[in-house]
């Protein structure tokens, strides 16, 4: 019984951590309602439908089809955006949580990276022009993200 209560407590703690640090709207919806699986399978983001919502560790995801929802449910970690859905460029540069344009993205090393985009600032373009090896930038961003989650 104590082990069960401990596990429930850890799960609630993780859900709260994700809800506090992930890029979510006030309803805890990720990716501004875009289907995370579609970034990988349709090669472009598709808007999800409320009828195909899946809640993973406190974060709400919407899907464009029942099949995509089922695919996500098999292994959510394969499809969740890196860095809680914050800008990969900003995370790699200084560990900053910066809002993104869900249509500005890149699949790299099997991960969904999202980027900030405005008329005079396109961080995906900055990312692609950077001469530092991408694996090094991802490692740096990973370290910043771990520090954010461990605060």
Per-residue confidence (pLDDT) for residue 151, from 0 to 100 = 76
Q: What are the boundaries of each domain within the chain?
A: 1-80, 81-151
How many other C-beta atoms lie within 10 A of the C-beta of residue 92? 26
Per-residue confidence (pLDDT) for residue 41, from 0 to 100 = 96
Helix (H), strand (E) at residue 51: strand 49-56
**Residue 66 DSSP label:** H
Per-residue confidence (pLDDT) for residue 62, from 0 to 100 = 98
Least confident of 4-8, 71-75, 125-129: 4-8
Q: Where are the alpha helices (DSSP H) in 44-133?
A: 66-74, 88-94, 123-129
Per-residue confidence (pLDDT) for residue 1, from 0 to 100 = 47
pLDDT surpasses 80 at 129? yes
The 10s digit of each residue's pLDDT in 134-145 is 999 999 999 999
pLDDT surpasses 70 at 2? no
The 10s digit of each residue's pLDDT in 8-31 is 333 444 455 677 899 999 999 999
Tokens representing 20 are 């506090």
Higher-pLDDT residue of 19, 48: 48
* 44 burial via Cβ count (<10 Å: 0-12, 13-18, 19+): exposed
Q: What percent of the chain has pLDDT over 90?
A: 83
Higher-pLDDT residue of 7, 28: 28
Residue appearing with tokens 């990969």: 88
Q: Which residues make Cβ contacts (< 8 Å) with residue 41, sequence separation at least 6?
A: 68, 71
How many other C-beta atoms lie within 10 A of the C-beta of residue 34? 25
Work out the pLDDT band at 33, boundaries 50, 70, 90.
very high
Per-residue confidence (pLDDT) for residue 9, from 0 to 100 = 37
């Amino acid at each position: 019984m104590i082990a069960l209560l401990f596990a429930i407590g850890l799960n609630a703690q993780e859900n709260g951590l994700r809800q506090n640090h992930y890029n979510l709207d006030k309803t805890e919806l990720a990716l501004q309602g875009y289907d995370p699986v579609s970034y990988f399978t349709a090669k472009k983001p598709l808007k999800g439908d409320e009828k195909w919502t899946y809640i993973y560790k406190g974060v709400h995801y919407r899907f464009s089809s029942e099949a995509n929802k089922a695919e996500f449910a098999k292994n959510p970690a394969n499809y969740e955006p890196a860095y809680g859905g914050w800008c990969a460029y900003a995370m790699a540069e200084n560990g900053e949580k910066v809002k993104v344009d869900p249509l500005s993205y890149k699949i790299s090393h099997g991960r969904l990276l999202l980027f900030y985009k405005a008329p005079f600032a396109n961080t995906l373009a900055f990312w692609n022009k950077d001469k530092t090896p991408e694996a090094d930038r991802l490692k740096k961003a990973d370290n910043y993200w771990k520090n954010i989650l461990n605060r």
